[in-house]
Amino acid sequence: MKVIIAAAQTGGHINPGIAIANKIKQENKNTRIMFIGTTRGLENDLVPRAGYELKTIEAYGINRKISIENIKNMFKTLKGFNGAKKIVKEFKPDIVIGTGGFICGPVLMAAKKYKIPTILHESNAFPGITTKLLSNKVNTVLVGFKDAIKRLPRANKIVVTGTPTKIKQVNLSKEQKEKIMDELKLSKELPIVLIFGGSQGAKSINSTLIEIIKNKTNTNYQIIWASGPKQYDIIKDKLQELKININRIKNIRVLPYIYNMEEMMNLADIIISRSGAMTITEIAITGKPAIFVPFPFATENHQEYNARVLADIGAAKIILDKDLNANILSNTINEMLKDKSILLKMGENANKVATKDVEERIYEEIKKLVKL
């Protein structure tokens, strides 16, 4: 079998594509898989690192506002369609799979031209423009959240599969927890609040945490904070101006990046983050109460829609970016920590929306189209 996967730009699009590729290879070792992306995104690192071939085309997101730059990008994307057609024609895949984002447009339309079966996976609760436009053109749309179904009324076929991720729910032993806390030089007694803003960090969340450190308002809890590699040194300098050593803050451990995220998420009592689809999925899987600060400039405000999937069932709180400050965040944390039974219930509610056997569900839909 031959498979093309269109995935580009962000980890939220690329990692599900890699997870799907891994599942296909697990079931069919002789399958040849090719990814199509751009020259500008994380796919240039993540795809080869995962051991897959990557071809690139020109493709750009289309802004709804009329501008010279937008017109130029439209023409470049049309050129990318020709590039996609050439790759598809030469590779002759049995199926083409897109995992969201503008790269799916030219690649899936090229597959349609050659009458090749197509699947489009949408991670977000509020589908993007590309998914809406392609929903009635591809054979099957797979969605991460049930909420997405009502927003794709023109789709030929929709299946709720969940979004594939490497994070799993793990019951850490007391010894494992103590070892992690010793390594982080944190207390074994105080609750843990895990805070991150995606792989690059989140400026508004980071600024708020500097204020919490300055005001010493985290006396009832301790923080593990992933600032993002690009912002770590900036934060270090800002703290230095306040005469605070980044490595010696009471009840706080600041890290540029968290590589053992599965351990950290399972360790945490509360998780604070942006609300990308992958993050929502991982929090649901690990069954953790959360405070979401949706990225306000996400396309069609999809991060707020994602956050509401958990907030509406009592699994999370939402603080809008414009309302975020040290007092509101610290008060929300303290209020949640007052009652452990409420935290436990919130975590249980989160876990209820986690879809089990995600990769298997996706593979079943692939089999239906390829007739394996």
According to DSSP, residue 63 is labeled: P
Q: Where are the domains of the chain?
A: 2-162+356-370, 174-352
From 216, 210, 226, 227, select the one nearest 251 (Cα to Cα).
216
Amino acid at 207: S
From 126, 119, 169, 120, select the one nearest 146 (Cα to Cα).
126
Instruction: Measure the CA–CA gap between 75 and 44, rounded to whole angstroms.
Output: 23
E strands in the chain: 2-6, 32-37, 53-56, 95-98, 118-122, 140-143, 158-160, 192-196, 222-226, 252-255, 270-273, 290-292, 316-318
CATH code assigned to 174-352: 3.40.50.2000
pLDDT in tens, the chain (372 residues): 999 999 998 888 899 999 999 999 999 999 999 999 998 888 999 999 999 999 999 876 656 566 666 556 565 666 678 899 999 999 999 999 999 788 999 999 999 999 999 999 999 999 988 899 999 999 999 999 999 999 999 999 999 999 998 899 999 999 999 999 999 999 999 999 999 986 555 889 999 999 999 999 899 999 999 998 888 999 999 999 999 999 999 999 999 988 899 999 999 999 999 999 999 999 999 999 999 999 998 877 889 999 999 999 999 999 999 999 999 999 999 999 999 999 999 999 999 999 889 999 999 999 999 976
The dihedral region occupied by 86, where left means phi > 0, alpha psi between -120 and 50, and beta the remainder, is alpha
**Whether CATH 1.10.10.10 fits 2-162+356-370:** no
Going 183 to 186 to 189 to 191, the CA torsion angle's sign is negative
Going 200 to 227 to 191 to 262, the CA torsion angle's sign is positive
Residue pointed to by tokens 């609040």: 193
Instruction: Measure the CA–CA gap between 79 and 81, rounded to whole angstroms.
Output: 5
Instruction: Measure the CA–CA gap between 33 and 21, rounded to whole angstroms.
Output: 7
Identical fold between 2-162+356-370 and 174-352: yes
